[in-house]
Amino acid sequence: MHETMVAENILRAIVEQAEKIGTRPLSAVISCGQFNTLNDEIMQFAFDAAAAGTVCEGMTLKIKHIPLRATCRQCKLMFEFDLYNPHCPGCRREEFDFEPDAPLLLEEIEFEEPK
């Protein structure tokens, strides 16, 4: 459940932005790759726990799961790699070269409109 530490880091970053903007944050979009992925429900749960009593209480998180791109060494097909079904969709072989996996990013925050 590394989502706990991720939640604490997101919370800190959003609170920092909220102080600059001066209105309440409503939602945020985060993105992650495949090798170090996040579980959507656990992430929201961990965030709710961390955000209780702060300006971020009640925020919703949206998690974008960025696909991992791989190229088959055999047929050179480039495809979105499924970690739990590691075959080339073209030739079914199991040798690949990977593009770098996406990092964990805080992409976007939505705030209440200033009055």
Partner 1 sequence: MKISLGQKILSRNEECAQKNREFFKKHKILCLNVISSPGAGKTSLLVRTIQDLKDQLKIGVIEGDLETDNDARKILAAGAAAFQIETKGACHLSAEQVQNALKMIEAEKMDLVFIENVGNLVCPSAFDLGESKRVVILSIPEGDDKPAKYPGTFAGASVVLINKIDLLAHIEFNLQRVLADIRTVNPTAQILQLSAAVGEGMQNWYNWLKEQIEK
CB atoms inside a 10 Å sphere around CB 11 = 20
Least Å from the CB of residue 45 to partner 1: 15
- Residue from 5, 75, 78, 91 in contact with partner 1 (CB under 8 A): 5
Q: Contact between 1 and partner 1 (CB under 8 A)?
A: yes
**HEC-encoded secondary structure of 66-103:** CCEEEEECCCCCEEEECCCCCCCCCCCCCCEEECCCCC
Residues 88-107 that bind partner 1 (CB under 8 A): 94-98, 101, 103-107
Least Å from the CB of residue 76 to partner 1: 16
Quote the tokens at residue 75: 């047929």
Q: Which residues of 75-97 are buried (b: 16+ CB within 10 A; e: fewer)?
A: eeeebebeeeeeebeeeeeeebe
Q: Contact between 114 and partner 1 (CB under 8 A)?
A: yes
Q: Contact between 79 and partner 1 (CB under 8 A)?
A: no
Residues that bind partner 1 (CB under 8 A): 1-2, 4-6, 9-10, 13, 17, 21, 23, 30, 34-37, 83-84, 86, 94-98, 101, 103-114
